[in-house]
Structures are given as C-alpha cells and as structure tokens.
Amino acid sequence: MRKRNHRSPITSVILYSLLALTLVFVFFPLFWMLVTSLKTPIEANELPPTLIPRTPTLDAFKFLLERWHYPEVLLNTFVIATFSALGATILSGMAAYGINRLQFPGRSAFYGFMVATLALPGMVTIGPIFMTYKDIGLLDTRLGLTLVFLSGGLPLAMLVVFSALNSIPRDIDDAAAIDGCSWFDTLFRVMLPIAMPSFVVSFLLLFIHAWNEFLFAYILSVTPEKRVLTVRLFEMPNRGDVYLPQYDLIAAGGVLVLLPIIPILILGQKRLVEGILAGATQGT
Amino acid sequence: MAQAESALSPTRSRTRHEAGFFAKYWMAYLLVLPAIIVRFAYTIIPLFRTLWLSLTNMSITNPGEFVGLRNYAMLFQDELFINSLGWTFVYTVSATLIETALGLAFAVLLNQKLRGQSTAIFIVMLPWVIAPMLASNVWKLLLYDSTGIFNQTLTMVGLDRIPWLSDPFWARVSVTLVSVWKNVAWVSLIFLAGLRSLPKEVLEAAEVDGAGPFTRFFRVSLPLLQSTTLLILLLRGMGEIQTFEQIYGLTMGGPGTSTRTLALLAYERFFTEFRYGYGSAVNMWLFLFAALVGFYYSWKLYQAAR
C-alpha cells in the first residue's frame, strides 16, 4: 500500500503499459486460437482476418468430435493421466517418507538416484521401451502408457512430498511415540494428514504432465482408438471437401485439448504454484 | 517394536546388536524400493540397452552385430549430426538465456503492487499448463506464411512478410520464440517466489540509504537471487537441451534440417529410418550433454538432502 502512494504518475503509466504488453504477448495466441475455432473454414482463411467471428459456428468442433473418436480418446487420456498420477504420488509418497524419516543403508543414494534420473531425456529411453513393449504385449495399451507416465512422474512427486515432510518437525514423531502411538498410528494419524496437501499438489502436477505428454504417447500407441488427445492434435484429420488450410480445425482441436485442464488451473492455482516451487527449489 | 521405534527416530541411540539386517530395515526398504524399482526399470535398463544398441549396426532389416565404436566414428563424418549438434547448442543457450531474462522481468513487474495482479499472474501461468504440442499448434495459427496473422499485420502496416516457418533462419527464430512463450511462465513463478522471500529489512535499509529502484534491484535484489538464478538456468538448460515436441509440432525439424535438434535427429534415425544402432549413438550424445547439466543439478540437491 505504502508503495502505491509514492509512485509517480509517469511510473504508473509505464508499469501498466508494460503489464498490458506482457499480457498481450502471453494471452493473444490463446485468444486467437479460441476466435479461430469459432470461424467457418472460409472465414478462417479470410484476408484481412476478422478479430471477432462474423458468423460463429461450432462446425469445426462437431467435425473433430466425430473424426477424432473423441469420447474414447478423452477417456484414454483421462484414465491414463489419473492412474499414472495417482500411482506415482503413492509410490513416491512412500519413498519420500522412508527416505525422510527412516534411517537405513543407501538412503541418500536412493534419493540421489531418483533426482539424477530427472536429467535423462525421454528420447534416450524410448527406443528400448518401445522394443520391450512390443515383445511383452504392452504396446498400444493403456496400462503401458500409464506405467511410463507413472515412472516419469516419480522424481517430481518425490521432491514435492519430500519437501512437505521435511517441514514437519521431527518432534512430532517423538511426541506421538511418547504418547504411545505405534509407528503405524504415527504414520496414518499424524504424518499423513499433515502431508496430505502435498499429495494433492503432486497429483495435480503429474496429471497435467501426463495430459500434455506427446512423445511416449505417440510412439507407444498405434490404433486411433488407443491414442490420447495430444497425439490426435498432431494427426489432424482432413476435411476432403474444402480445399483450404484447416485453421479452424487446428484451433478447435487445441481448444478441445486445453478445455478439460482449465478447471484444474482455476481451482488449484495456488497449490500448483506451491508444487512448482517445491519441485524446483528443494536444493536451495 | 523396539526396532521400528529406533528406526523411526534416527537421532536416538541405535540398537544394532539385537536384530538382523532384514528385521531392522524391512520397513524402510518396503517403502522405498517399489518407487526405485519402477524408476530403475524405465530409466537405467533402457539406458544400458541404448548404450548396447549404439555399439551394434542393428536396423529393421538387420538383426545386428557388435561393431564397436563405428557408429560414433560415422557420426563425426555426418554433416547432419554436426549441424544438429551446433543448433542444439545455440538453441539451448539462447532459449535458456531469453527465458531467464524475460522471466525475471515478468516477475519484477508482477511483484509491483499493481491492480489486477492476481489475474495477471493467472494469465502468465497459462502457457505453463499447455501441452508443448498444443503450444506449437497455437503458434502455427499466428506464423503461417501466407495467411498467418503476423504476416497479415506486417502487410497491413506496409512491411514485407517474414517467412516465419519456411526460411531456415526465421524458422529457428520462431522455434525459439515458441519455447520462450511456453516456458517463461515457469521461470516467472520461481523468480516471483524468490523476490517475495527477499529480506525486507535489507531492501528498506537500501532505500533509507538513498538507493533508487534500479540500484536496489541490481545491487541488492539480483545478488540475493543468485542461487535462484543458477537453479533456473540449470533446470531450463536441462529441459531445452532435450526439446522435441514443440519443434516436431511446429516445423518437424525443417525447413530442410535447420531446426533439427539432437532429439529430433535421434527420433528420425531410430523411428523413421529404423536405424536402431545409429539412432542410439545419437541418443548417447544427447544423454551425455543432458547428464552434464543434470548431474551437476542433482549433485546440489543430493548434498542438500544429506
């Protein structure tokens, strides 16, 4: 409050203009996608482009809903993202608890291993994973993709939960033990409720990551019904009858992929920021 | 119960003599090993298989035999590999630096007490939740050569069109631009948190001593943000060096081979030409570079956790 008072009008104008410029840079591409998705194929190609659709239509959406196998693809994406995020959060939560609270040989090596593998590019491992999946029949299955994303989410989930556990003072464990709690009670009645928000954060982060992933989803699925949304986005269907670039379809496809994620962002904005910070700033 | 209790509170005196290794630690390993085993199966085992493949001449038509380092020797006569290596380096460095600088600027701006601040933070966060493949589609709509809105705007104000995606130089600019747009959100959030956790007394003391806003930023805030900045540079560098999705979505490595990063080259060799051995050798280089950045970063985390 104090600062706003002794800011000169000129400074204010400059600051607000810069803010407006920033927001235009960030938001305009998305706005343009939304606008284009509501145009007819002809208007989407019109010169000069119209800022507001003259005759708004949902044709592009209708076309994609049919041609994309949208219900199946949406269900695939949702199931894979949910179960991989849930699985990774649970496994990482267990590991984070063990590493943070128990003493055993190899403790810090395990932690180091989990974090170090973050640096491994997906491209380096996908070839052999593809070959193995083909041999053992996991290619083109939801289970196969779920497991890949589960493994991919483990390090981030562990950092998020670990940093939450780290902030719970060890005195609480001791106090619970003195009060006669078994380790089992301590874990489920004391630690878990306190660490719960970090599990939610980890789940949300991993859900978004899995929702957005393309490379593994593209390589490890084959039939259209087994694809996920990002892959469908890449394989834009052709609208044979209109010989024009299909801007409206590209835009509508984008909206169809993005829309289901927006509620998570709106409801979980604060938690997500916490998660991003916990994932990134563990070491500082 | 005695073992479990002593394991729960590592600071207390250990009772090593009374139980065997298994009885003492089974709980800890039961908790930690499932995650470790899954991660191991999906990272270390495929990594070693890639290493093995890179030493063979396996392809879709050839079951493969051991050829030693021949693939690696071939790589250095392959002009495409050298170009790709150079572009990956240029792209990683420029995208990382621009993202970091712009993210810092955004964070400073969002940290001012302006109206609509929380809405602004929400909007700046949007590109972060967007799939890389989606980001490239969003930008395609703006960048198309003939009818994209960027070129339309340029034409309207009487300037020449820019071949955003069809000229090697401009395609490289476009690819970098999309990465910056996508990743600046994350950088801003980390910097914003860093700015907010700066000690207020120090900044106020500087203000009392007559330091202007710019002196305060460059002489006080920025030095205090040093470790945050290093962290961001490392994490973004690690991310950019392995970029595949955005570029594949936007240009598929083209025009020609101008935006083909190492990851794209490895992808093409492995999955479109089915040269498993050669593709794996490209991947080993990608691994080496990512590991150089990544292990330095994880070493810092590892030390912090000890």
pLDDT (tens digit, 9 = 90+) per residue, A99-110? Answer: 988 888 888 889
Name which CATH class applies to A68-235.
Answer: mainly alpha
Secondary structure (DSSP) of B222-270? HHHTHHHHHHHHHHHHHHHHT--HHHHHHTTT-STTTT--HHHHHHIII
Q: Is B134 in Cβ contact with A3 (below 8 Å)?
A: no
What mean pLDDT, rounded, does chain A reach?
Answer: 87
How crowded is the C-beta side of B41, counted as CA atoms within 13 Å? Answer: 15
Q: Give the closest of B140, B185, B287 to A120, CB-based.
A: B287
How many angstroms separate the Cα of B302 from the Cα of each of A37, A111, A240, A276, B295?
47, 7, 56, 19, 10
**What part of A 24-43 touches B (C-beta under 8 Å)?**
25-27, 29-30, 32-33, 36
Closest CB to B137 among A155, A159, A254: A254
> Considering only CB atoms, which chain B residues are within 8 Å of A227?
none
The C-alpha atoms of residue A247 and residue A32 are separated, in whole angstroms, by 11
User: B291 CA to chain A: closest CA distance, Å?
Assistant: 6
Helical residues (DSSP H) of B197-225, grouped into ranges: 200-208, 213-215, 222-224
What is the pLDDT, as a whole number, of residue B302?
62
CB within 8 Å: B190 and A148: no
pLDDT computed for residue B12 by the predictor? 46
Closest residue, chain A, to B60 (C-alpha): A131
> What average pLDDT does chain B have?
86
Residue B33 C-alpha, separation from nearest chain A C-alpha, in angstroms: 7
CA dihedral sign, ordered A223, A225, A228, A230: positive
User: What was the pLDDT predicted at A282?
Assistant: 57
A158 in Cβ contact with A92 (< 8 Å): yes
Computed over its alpha carbons, how large is the radius of gyration of chain A?
Answer: 24
Number of A:B CB contacts under 8 A? Answer: 308
Six-digit token pair at A271? 């938690």
What was the pLDDT predicted at A281?
Answer: 64
Chain A: closest CA distance from residue B168 (Å): 22
- Indicate if the pLDDT at residue B17 is higher than 60: no
What is the model's pLDDT at position B47?
A: 95
Cβ-Cβ contacts under 8 Å for A284 (sequence gap 6 or more): B227, B228, B231, B304
The closest CB to that of A121, out of B41, B242, B295, belongs to B242
Q: Which of B19, B57, B29 minimizes the C-alpha distance to B279?
A: B57
Nearest residue, CB atoms, B298 vs list A118, A150, A158: A118
Task: Record the tokens describing residue A184, joined without a space.
Answer: 């089992």
What's the gap in Å between the CA of B118 and the closest CA on chain A? 10
Contact flag B238-A119 (C-beta cutoff 8 Å): yes
**pLDDT for the residue numbered B226:** 83
Chain A, 73 to 132: residues with Cβ < 8 Å from chain B are 91-92, 94-95, 97-99, 101-105, 107-108, 110-132
What is the H or E stretch that residue B105 is in? helix B79-111
Q: Is residue B297 over pLDDT 80?
A: no
CA proximity to A104, closest of B304, B299, B8, B39: B8
Q: How does pLDDT run across A246-262, given as a tens digit for each residue?
A: 888 899 999 999 998 88
Give the C-alpha separation, B141 to A163, whole Å: 41
**In angstroms, rounded to a whole number, what is the distance separating the alpha carbons of residues B293 and B240?**
11
Query: Is residue A182 within 8 angstroms of chain B, CB to CB?
Result: yes
CB A157 within 8 A of CB A98: no
B55-110 residue pLDDT tens = 998 888 888 888 888 889 988 898 899 999 999 999 999 999 999 999 999 999 99
A105, A114, A273 ranked by CB distance to B39: nearest: A114
- CB atoms A276 and B5 under 8 Å: no
Residue A87's pLDDT is 96
CA Rg value for chain B: 25
Note the pLDDT of residue A124: 94
pLDDT interval class at A163 (50, 70, 90): confident
Nearest residue to A81 via CA among A178, A172, A212, A184: A212
In chain B, where are the structural domains located? 2-54, 70-305
Across the interface, which of B42, B232, B279 has its CB nearest the CB of A148? B42
| pLDDT value for A190 | 82
More confident residue, B24 or A250: A250
Taking CB atoms and an 8 Å cutoff, what residues of chain B touch A92? Answer: 35
Contact between residue B39 and residue A154 where contact means Cβ atoms under 8 Å apart: yes
Min Cα separation B217/chain A (Å): 15
B190–A117 C-beta distance less than 8 A: no
Q: What is the pLDDT of residue B2?
A: 41
A190 touches chain B (CB under 8 A): no
Name the CATH superfamily, with its identifier, for domain B70-305.
Answer: MetI-like (1.10.3720.10)
Decide if pLDDT at A1 tops 70.
Answer: no
DSSP code, position B173: H
* Straight-line distance from the first to the last Cα atom of chain A, in angstroms, rounded to the nearest whole number: 30
Q: Which of B123, B141, B286 sits opposite A32 (nearest CB)?
A: B141
What percent of chain B clears pLDDT 70, i.e. is strictly above it? 91
Interval A54-70: pLDDT, tens: 888 888 899 888 888 88
Rounded mean pLDDT of A118-130?
Answer: 92
A65–B contact, CB cutoff 8 A: no
Q: How many CB atoms lie within 10 A of CB B83?
A: 15
Count of residues for chain A? Answer: 284
Task: Read off the pLDDT of residues B189-227 as tens digits, 9 standing for 90 and up.
Answer: 999 988 888 888 888 888 888 888 888 888 888 888 888
Of B127, B283, B301, Cβ closest to residue A115: B301
| CA-based end-to-end distance of chain B | 27
How many residues make up chain B in this entry? 306
B35 touches chain A (CB under 8 A): yes
Note the pLDDT tens digit of each residue in A197-248. Answer: 889 989 999 999 999 999 999 999 988 888 999 999 898 888 776 567 788 8
CB contact under 8 A, B228 and A49: no
Domain ranges of chain A: 2-60, 68-235
Residue B240 pLDDT = 93
Per-residue pLDDT of B139-197, as tens digits, reads 998 888 777 788 888 888 878 888 888 889 999 999 999 999 999 999 999 999 888 88
What token pair was written down for A43?
């208007």
Residue B86 CA to residue A264 CA, distance in Å, equals: 39
**Both tokens assigned to A263:** 């509620």
Q: Would you say residue B5 has pLDDT above 80?
A: no
- How many of the other CB atoms lie within 10 Å of CB of B214? 8
List CB contacts (< 8 A) between B165 and chain A: none
Predicted confidence (pLDDT) at residue A284 exceeds the cutoff of 50: no
DSSP string, chain A: -HHHHT--HHHHHHHHHHHHHHHHHHHHHHHHHHHHHTS-HHHHT-SSPPSS-SS---HHHHHHHHHTTHHHHHHHHHHHHHHHHHHHHHHHHHHHHHHHH---TTHHHHHHHHHHGGGS-HHHHHHHHHHHHHHHT-TT-HHHHHHHHHHHHHHHHHHHHHHHHHTS-HHHHHHHHHTT--HHHIIIIIIHHHHHHHHHHHHHHHHHHHHH--HHHHHS--SGGG--HHHHHHSPPP-TT--S--HHHHHHHHHHHHGGGHHHHHHHHHHHHHHHHHHHHTT-
Query: How many C-beta atoms surround the C-beta of residue A129 within 10 A?
Result: 26
DSSP string spanning B9-76?
Answer: -TTSPP--TTS-HHHHHHHHHHHHHHHHHHHHHHHHHHHHHHHHHHTB--BTTB---B-TTHHHHHHT
Tell me: cis bond preceding A48? Omega within 30 of 0 counts: yes
**Measured between CB atoms, does A8 come within 8 Å of chain B?**
no
* Residue B87 · residue B175 · CB < 8 Å: no
Comparing CB atoms, the residue among B43, B113, B132 nearest residue A125 is B43
Q: B185: alpha, beta or left, given left = phi > 0 and alpha = psi -120 to 50?
A: alpha
Query: Residue B164 carries which DSSP code?
Result: T
Contacts of B238 in chain A (CB under 8 A): 118-119
A127, B189: Cβ pair inside 8 Å?
no
Answer yes or no: are the C-beta atoms of A161 and A96 closer than 8 Å: yes
How far, in Å, CA of B231 to CA of A228, rounded? 33
CA B288/CA A101 separation, integer angstroms: 34
B19 confidence band (pLDDT: 50, 70, 90):
low
> What's the rounded Cα separation, in Å, for the pair B46 and B41?
7
Predicted pLDDT at B305 = 59
CA closest to B27 among chain A residues: A98
